Amino acid sequence: MSADDSFTNKEWQVIGRAIARLRASVMAVVFAMLGGGVLFLATAVLVVNATEGMPVGPTLSLLNNYFPGYSVTWPGAFIGLVYGAIVGGAAGYLLSYVYNLVVETRHPHMKKG
């Protein structure tokens, strides 16, 4: 089957011009998983590789300036997981919300999706 059996050139143009939308809920979940996962892993790696007598993760622990209760310890890894997920989720939601807003402003003639 050749393509023009199914679509006219105009239809192909429509396909070529389609603009993607972002699903805010999906982006929020993905970013939340990424944010929480990355912070958990980063903390866990430092805790596992800790050398006795040496401070553990002095730089990463500075995050407690933003995340009260966070520390480079096992409990801290789980607290970081929650904080990372919250911040990541908010960032993902904001990102897609702004993106969709700009797309709708710039392409008002396009179908919503």
Where do contacts with other proteins occur on this chain (CB under 8 A)?
A: 1-4, 6-7, 9, 11-21, 24, 59, 62, 65-66, 91, 94-100, 102-104, 106-107, 112-113
CB of 29 to other proteins, least distance (A): 15
Query: Tokens at residue 96, please?
Result: 């897609």
H or E, element range at 42: helix 24-48
Residues 75 and 66: their CA atoms lie apart, in Å, by 17
Residue where the block lists tokens 């966070």: 70
Q: In the complex with other proteins, which residue's Cβ is closer, 52 or 106?
A: 106
CB of 48 to other proteins, least distance (A): 23
Q: In the complex with other proteins, which residue's Cβ is closer, 2 or 51?
A: 2
Q: In the complex with other proteins, which residue's Cβ is closer, 35 or 76?
A: 35
CB of 83 to other proteins, least distance (A): 13
SS3 50: coil
Quick one: how far is CA 41 from the chain centroid? Answer: 16
H or E, element range at 83: helix 74-106
Q: In the complex with other proteins, which residue's Cβ is closer, 78 or 97?
A: 97
CB of 112 to other proteins, least distance (A): 4
